Amino acid sequence: MKTPAVPQDICLHIPPKMWQEFRLSMMKYQQYDEEAIGFLFCKRHQVSKNKIRYIPKAWIVPLPECYELQSASGLVLKQQFHSYLIENYLEEGLHVIHIHTHVSHTMLDFSLVDDCHESEYSRFLTSKFAKKPRLISGVCDESLRQTHFRIWDRKGKSYQKIRFYQSWFEIPKLEKSNDQIIADPRSINQQDLSSQTNSMFIRQQIFGDACQKQLGELKVGLIGCGGIGSIFVELLGRLGVKNWVLIDPDRLEMSNLNRIPGATKKMSDQRWHKVDYVKYLIKKIYETGSCVKAMPVSIDDEVAQQEIACTDLIVVATDNHLSRKITQELALKYMRPLVCLGTHIEVNQSDNRPRMFCRITVPPLGGGWCLMCGNMINLQRAALESAPVEINQIVEKAGYIEGINDPAVFWLNSICASTAVSVIHGLVSGFLNLDNGIDWIFDFPNWHKTNVGFLETPDCYFCGFKKPDLLFQH
Ligand SMILES: [Zn+2]
Ligand SMILES: [Zn+2]
């Protein structure tokens, strides 16, 4: 295969919490005036023809006992440790990220010795493993605040600098645009914000131009364009988000008109797909400059999943457990931030009053807990929802599945959607820290916040991360 003529846009995205844990381990095992090494192992995701992202699936920082030599002048790991890496990570076909520190009084860049070792290592990976894993290398200062990353070719002859993100989104922080080492292709065409757009956001300038620009670049995938999804789009769209992927197989019905903004009887008579109606809402906000992909399919559609994997943020606002489960699995597989929204109204049997709930859940990026281990969705219900129609009719009659005629009101959906938008605004502009995830429940008229520390489930089948066992204290 020829080398592509177009330059590849390659990035490495490590979620904030994982990077923090990795950083602390590196600092812990790095004595005064010594360097340290750490490894991450990644999957590769071809986002588009020219864009590739590497997604970490495991990391390990060797203990001091794993070194043959550890000093400021050089680092050599024991053969046993290398064999351990090969057996546990490389044979699975994961790509390697090798990160090492330089002590602060040396200049922070790769040295000639680094070039030499890394070139050799990259040739070794190519020759030894059938899947020919790539080598990404990183050099950092002692506190791992400054970083340089590069990826080697398979022959170990040349390398390319790559972008590194330790945030929720792969959108560059624009405050220090002059310091950017590598220009992000997405930021290049952003200077031509029309004057219409600029004056549109004049009342929210308090959140900063950088935040506004990031919102303008964010690509959001929405699964479920009904009562919550449509309000969510109206709110996040007005805040400045223009790029959308919309997934929903359903069509508008008269019974939706009590709770979706701007929808008409005519639309329902003409049986509009919900995705087309939501696209229409976005086009009302942006006469030009928006990009909306409307897909009237369900999330188990393969093409829909590919589109969702390429977004910056996934939002699920469906009324069933199966689609939420599939969406959570996608978010984990491609390591995309996930926001899950839902409302529920029931009648309290004791006093016959309605009880009204909404819930906003954002599992931590990169694992820790998820919708499944956090019991936000019911796996049994998800299984029933995927069962053949006849079985569903039986269980539906027995009252096991929520029907489409569940009670729903505009104002409760609005509380849910607008709180979710505040969370996303907080994430982008930085006024909210979500590193450990959030799970907020509105039980009218009060909000409850789940203590997410209790949700941590290291051995979860879905979100459990491969933790290194430290076998090396022989
Ligand atoms: Zn070095
Ligand atoms: Zn989990």
Helix 410-429 vs helix 227-239: crossing angle, to nearest 10: 40
Which ligand sits closest to the CA of 141? 1
The DSSP string of 93-157 is T-EEEEEEE--TTS-SS--HHHHHHHHHHHHHHHHH-TT---EEEEEE-TTS-SEEEEEE-TTSS
Q: Which residue has the tokens 């995927």?
A: 386
| Ligand 2 centroid to residue 464 C-alpha, Å | 6
Per-residue pLDDT of the chain (474 residues; tens, 9 = 90+): 455 556 789 999 999 999 999 999 999 887 767 888 999 999 999 999 999 999 999 999 988 888 888 777 777 888 888 888 888 888 888 999 999 998 866 668 999 999 999 999 999 999 999 899 999 999 999 899 999 999 999 999 999 999 999 999 988 765 444 444 444 555 444 444 555 567 899 999 999 999 999 999 999 999 999 999 999 999 999 999 999 999 999 999 999 999 999 999 999 999 999 999 999 999 999 999 999 999 999 999 999 999 999 999 999 999 889 999 999 999 999 999 999 999 999 998 899 999 999 999 999 998 899 999 999 988 888 887 777 777 767 766 665 555 557 899 999 999 999 999 999 999 999 999 999 999 999 999 999 999 999 999 988 999 987 666 554 443
| Ligand 2 centroid to residue 375 C-alpha, Å | 9
> What ranges make up the beta strands (E) of 375-445?
438-443
Which ligand sits closest to the CA of 108? 1
Backbone angles phi, psi at 63, to 5 degrees: -75, 160
Token pair in block for residue 134: 């790539």
Q: Which residue has the tokens 């956001």?
A: 201
Question: What's the Cα-to-Cα distance from 459 to each of 59, 440, 451, 464, rounded to whole Å?
Answer: 16, 24, 19, 5
Rg (CA), the chain: 25
| Ligand 2 centroid to residue 438 C-alpha, Å | 14
Which residues, in sequence order, are CB contacts of 192 under 8 Å at separation 6+? none
| Ligand 1 centroid to residue 102 C-alpha, Å | 6
| Ligand 1 centroid to residue 31 C-alpha, Å | 16
| Ligand 1 centroid to residue 16 C-alpha, Å | 24
Q: Do residues 317 and 342 lie in contact, with contact meaning Cβ atoms separated by under 8 Å?
A: yes
| Ligand 1 centroid to residue 54 C-alpha, Å | 22
Backbone angles phi, psi at 267, to 5 degrees: -60, -40
Q: Do residues 162 and 136 lie in contact, with contact meaning Cβ atoms separated by under 8 Å?
A: yes
Instruction: For strands 67-70 and 75-77, give the pairing.
Output: antiparallel
Number of H helices, E strands in the chain: 14, 18
Which ligand sits closest to the CA of 103? 1
| Ligand 2 centroid to residue 166 C-alpha, Å | 21
